[in-house]
């Protein structure tokens, strides 16, 4: 469960990572890790504390796929799109996930249960295609296994 954003917690986090413009990427990563996404309020606060413009912060937010700007669902499913997994069918697996979950990549289901995202290598290439559900990595995932993991996740 991610923390709810508040200015004091955000200020503390910026201080922990390092309140300097060169730490912007690391700060944004830390915000996603702690709060699940980077809100407009967060952009404002980070810009102010690092003495940057909001456009500067937005530029970096939009550059990285992982810098989510909407809250994540309760469960996060990432499907690897990198070379080894692609060679082993991750695109078909992704198409199956989109169809069966009813969400596109970078989207969260309407009930707020699941967010589906691409990821570019999970370090599990020997067991491609690989996926991650929350913090756990699974290898050699086909459509049936994905359905089973999703069913288990929902129980
Ligand atoms: S390419 Fe998918 S885990 Fe490395």
Q: How far is the CA of 120 from the centre of ligand 1 (A)?
A: 7
**pLDDT of 109-140, one tens digit each?**
988 999 999 999 999 999 999 999 998 999 99
pTM of the model: 0.83
Q: How far is the CA of 95 from the centre of ligand 1 (A)?
A: 17
Which of 82, 117, 132, 139 has most ligand 1 atoms within 8 Å of its beta carbon, as the pocket-test mutant? 82
DSSP 111-135: TS-EEEEEES--S-GGG-S-EEETT
d(CA 144, CA 134): 19
**pLDDT of 16-70, one tens digit each?**
999 999 999 999 999 999 999 999 999 999 999 999 999 999 999 999 888 999 8
Region 82-110: mean pLDDT is 96
All domains of the chain in start order, with CATH: 7-63 (no CATH), 75-154 (3.40.30.10)
């Amino acid at each position: 469960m991610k923390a709810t954003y508040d200015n004091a917690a955000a200020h503390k986090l910026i201080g922990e990572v390092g309140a300097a413009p060169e730490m912007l990427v690391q700060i944004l990563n830390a915000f996603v890790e702690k709060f699940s996404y980077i809100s407009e309020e967060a952009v404002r606060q980070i810009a102010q504390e690092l003495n940057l413009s909001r456009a500067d912060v937005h530029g970096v937010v939009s550059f990285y796929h992982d810098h989510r700007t909407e809250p994540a669902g309760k469960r996060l499913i990432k499907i690897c799109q990198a070379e080894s997994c692609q060679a082993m069918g991750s695109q078909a697996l992704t198409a199956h996930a989109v169809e069966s979950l009813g969400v596109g990549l970078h989207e969260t289901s309407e009930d707020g249960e699941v967010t589906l995202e691409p990821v570019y290598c999970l370090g599990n290439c020997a067991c491609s295609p690989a996926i991650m559900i929350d913090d756990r990595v699974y290898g050699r995932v086909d459509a049936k296994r994905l359905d089973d993991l999703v069913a288990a996740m929902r129980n």
